[in-house]
Amino acid sequence: MPPWVDFEPFIVSGLALGGVYALSGVGLVVLYRATGVLYLAFGAVGALGALIAWSLITRAGAPGWAGWLACVAVAGAVTLAYGLLFGPALARRDPLIKAVATIGLTLILYGVMDLLWTTSGGQARSLTLPTDNGGFTVAQIQVTWTQVIALAAGVVLTVGTGAFLRLTKLGTAMRAMANDRDITATLGVPVRKVEAAAWLGCGILGGIAGLLLADLVALDATTLTFLVISSLAAVLIARLRSITVTFVAAIVIGLLHDLLTPIASLTSYRDMTPFVIAAIGLLVLSRHQVMTQSREEA
Amino acid sequence: MRRNNAARRTILLAAALALAAAGCSSSSSSSSSGATGSTPAAGSSSSAGAATVDTSSCGSKPGVKATGTPIPLGAIATNQPGTSFTDIPNMAKAYFDCVNANGGVNGHPIKLYIATEQTNPAQIAADAKQLVQTDKVVGIVGNTSIIECSINSSYWQKLGFYVIDSGIAPECYSTPNSAAVNMGPRYSSDGAVQYALAQHVSKVVFDQANVPGTGYIAAGPNALAKAANVPIVDLTENVPITDANSVAIKEVNDAGPNGAVILNFTPPQALVILQAAQKLGLEDRVKLWGCSTPCNTDFLAQSLGPKWNGKLFVNAELAPPDDTNTTSMNLYKAILKQYGSSVQGGIGSFSQMGFTEAEIAVHALQSITGPYTVQSVNAAFKAVKDFDTGQLCQLWTYGDYPLHIPNNSDWTVTPKDGKMTTAQGCTLISKVDPQIAQYRNAAGTAANAPTGS
């Protein structure tokens, strides 16, 4: 076992990785709570936005802010368009079918990105933010402001969306609609408009996450599209319900993942961390549920 | 209750996806069973803009279009999300288009059929059969695939094909019927480690993508480090890398302040690690960083920026395009500009490989006086000896050897203000690597014949 000092830098990197998982995971839970859809294209729309931002900034010479806005706008527009086109048709279908349908969108976007931003010929791209240039040092590791922003964004997202869903009229309507669309409609809630707002909001979150993740992880269609799968572990632990639990689980997963890195015998298996923790979490939760039900029945 | 059941099913789907991802996490790239595509790609050259350098020297009759019976050649290239080697046969096609527009080969145009695959063994075997049985190709030029050599090697041997390719799998370098213009991951990594050892580093950390064949690749660098009495640490990373920060910290901690970190990854993955190291302020915490040939792209140099000038040293299997002003290099650039509209990566190692393979093939085909058959074409390929490609450190020889590593001498380049520049001229890869020693024993003087340029 390495000395404690060897673990210190990995605490810093683990928090940053946890922040990455939290950004995606919280976004997934927010939309699920608002629309009842597990939006698996969350990573793909962010990746598309980030690649468009890269093209605008690098190829067309657009200013950075225009590229970032375009990223968020594209992710929002694609998600909104999907929601408007397929939302009504899928509204009464099982949540499982709704989730599977978003895999279709994921694959289409992934194919488009692979076609337009090919990696043939050794092409490598990167999207850096001005916040990469500043920061501070912890445990001999430089922490950039982008990493701080990503972590803070997770916290803000968790607190902000939690408050939005509980305290605002639109948020309440979203929750009601996710529970039962028909009853919500009969109560006079304009479900199509509320649904559109939820999709747009989720797309914007996807765009912001895509922008930050392109900087923090990689500007690569494959990486960004499927990063959402690792984040699913945190979502699973939260059972698609609690934004706070998702955030905490994501941070714990990131920390544990990176703390395994310096341990030679376990380092090769560290990528399994999210899924092992998710499996353990689900087992514990199931056992707790069974025990609670047994007590209630007794 | 109904909603709870539905939510439970959604959670199950998420769990299934997560488990699938866990199961696939050590795989570098997804494979799919896409249809085998065998695309005839000859004769119809499209202009990518007016060339400023005359390309007519590629053929024997400048300006005269070849109208004879086409000579059908074939190529198989990996083309899947995240991994595409199609630039190599596409550049070979660009060269053939140029030749076809300037007299062809003794009046015959070359028709290149390009088949693509997605790392699916059955599909790769089918590609080969389609090229031979349907397209009736008489030679294979421009193959570049992750596993094609492993799958089709015995098939080519059985039919008497002598393949001119860009190698990746071990069989591309260890069998009688494959001769590559590049070094491939093992010998290129050898070159990067060799450069680091020459700078007197105290330790080497060799990190590569966790894909099939890592043990074979690492054997070369390990042999070199062991011979130099320098400790070496072998690492592998699942790709795509999502935890570049921890990867970079681990590499630097393992290497130590006087050590070297050598990467063997595709450019996007290497870039992710190097940028993470830069953001964490780790780039100066080791003596040097090294990389095998894939990092030799201006894309990487531009993305990294000036902090890596003289800090990162990349093995270059082919002549550095920015630093080379030879007839061959100028012709390569001119053909790429005029005929290479389908070459998406532009100037770089991949298109250089395609150019080199095509010029070797044309050189061999021009020596044939009778009909262009499988026998005559492959005999001509095998007979290529001491050919100056203008792109390699050495003269290129196929020869009748049990194994072929005809490119075993390299450059080292380093980024400088957004471009890769030469840090070290042609240097033979050490024969401490037992495979290199075996080839040099088999090929004799042909193994290290330097070019005149």
Q: Mutate which of B1, B2, B10, B286 to disrupt the A interface (most A C-beta within 10 Å)?
A: B10
Taking an 8 Å cut-off on Cβ atoms, the answer to whether A124 and B303 are in contact is yes
Taking an 8 Å cut-off on Cβ atoms, the answer to whether A272 and B243 are in contact is no
Q: Which helix (H) or strand (E) segment is A191 a member of? A: helix A191-216
Q: Where are the domains of chain A?
A: 4-118+126-285
Of B7, B15, B282, the CB nearest to A282: B15
Q: How far is B87 from chain A (nearest CA, A)?
A: 6
Dist CA A236 CA A275 (whole Å): 10
Q: What is the pLDDT of residue B442?
A: 92
Q: What is the pLDDT of residue B34?
A: 31
Q: How far is B193 from chain A (nearest CA, A)?
A: 21
Taking an 8 Å cut-off on Cβ atoms, the answer to whether B14 and A240 are in contact is yes
Residues in chain A, pLDDT under 70:
120-123, 289-290, 298
B296: tokens are 């030799």
Q: What is the pTM of this model?
A: 0.80
B19: tokens are 């488990």
B30: tokens are 């997804």
Taking an 8 Å cut-off on Cβ atoms, the answer to whether B245 and A16 are in contact is yes
Amino acid at A31: L
Of B12, B17, B294, the CB nearest to A229: B17
Residues 392-431 of B with CB under 8 A from A: none
User: Nearest Cα to B347, choosing from B359, B363, B335?
Assistant: B335
pLDDT tens-digit map of A169-193: 988 888 888 778 888 888 888 988 8
Q: What is the pLDDT of residue B451?
A: 56
Dist CA B229 CA B207 (whole Å): 19
B323: tokens are 């630093």
Taking an 8 Å cut-off on Cβ atoms, the answer to whether B3 and A179 are in contact is yes
A43: tokens are 């990573």
Nearest residue in chain B measured CA to CA from A10 = B246
Is residue B403 within 8 A of residue B393, CB to CB? The reply is no
B346: tokens are 């532009």
Reported ipTM: the value is: 0.79
Residues of A in contact with B236 (CB under 8 A): 268
Q: Would you list the DSSP string of B23-65?
A: HHTT-SS----PPPEEEEE-S----SS--SS--GGGSSSTTPP
Per-state percent for chain B, helix, strand, coil, to nearest 5: 45, 20, 40
Q: What is the pLDDT of residue A232?
A: 86
Residues of B in contact with A40 (CB under 8 A): 17
Dist CA A208 CA A204 (whole Å): 6
Is residue A117 within 8 A of residue A51, CB to CB? The reply is yes
Q: What is the pLDDT of residue B325?
A: 86
Q: What is the pLDDT of residue B60?
A: 87
Nearest residue in chain A measured CA to CA from B248 = A13
Residues of B in contact with A236 (CB under 8 A): 11, 14-15, 18
Q: What is the pLDDT of residue B375?
A: 97
What architecture does CATH give domain A4-118+126-285? Orthogonal Bundle (1.10)
Taking an 8 Å cut-off on Cβ atoms, the answer to whether A10 and B244 are in contact is no
HSE-CB of B439 using CA atoms within 13 angstroms? 29
Residues of A in contact with B301 (CB under 8 A): none
Q: What is the pLDDT of residue B12?
A: 55
Dist CA B317 CA B166 (whole Å): 11
Q: What is the pLDDT of residue A143?
A: 87
Of A10, A119, A274, the CB nearest to B268: A119
Compute the C-alpha angle B126/B131/B133, nearest 5°.
Answer: 85
Instruction: Kindly report whether the peptide bond that precedes residue B257 is cis, defined as omega within 30 degrees of 0.
Output: no
Q: What is the pLDDT of residue A56?
A: 96
Q: What is the pLDDT of residue B201?
A: 97
Dist CA A113 CA A224 (whole Å): 11
A20's CB contacts (< 8 A; 6+ apart) are: A150, A213, A216, A217, A227, A254, B242
Instruction: Show pLDDT as tens, one digit a residue, over chain B (453 residues).
Output: 444 555 555 555 555 555 444 444 333 333 333 333 333 333 333 333 334 568 888 998 999 999 999 999 999 999 876 678 899 999 999 999 999 999 999 999 999 999 999 989 999 999 999 999 999 999 999 999 989 999 999 999 999 999 999 999 999 999 999 999 999 999 999 999 999 999 999 999 999 998 878 899 999 999 999 999 999 999 999 888 888 889 999 999 999 999 999 999 988 889 989 999 998 889 999 999 999 998 888 778 888 888 898 899 999 999 988 778 889 999 999 999 999 999 988 888 889 999 999 999 999 999 999 999 999 999 999 999 999 999 999 999 999 999 999 999 999 999 988 888 899 999 999 999 999 999 999 998 665 655 544
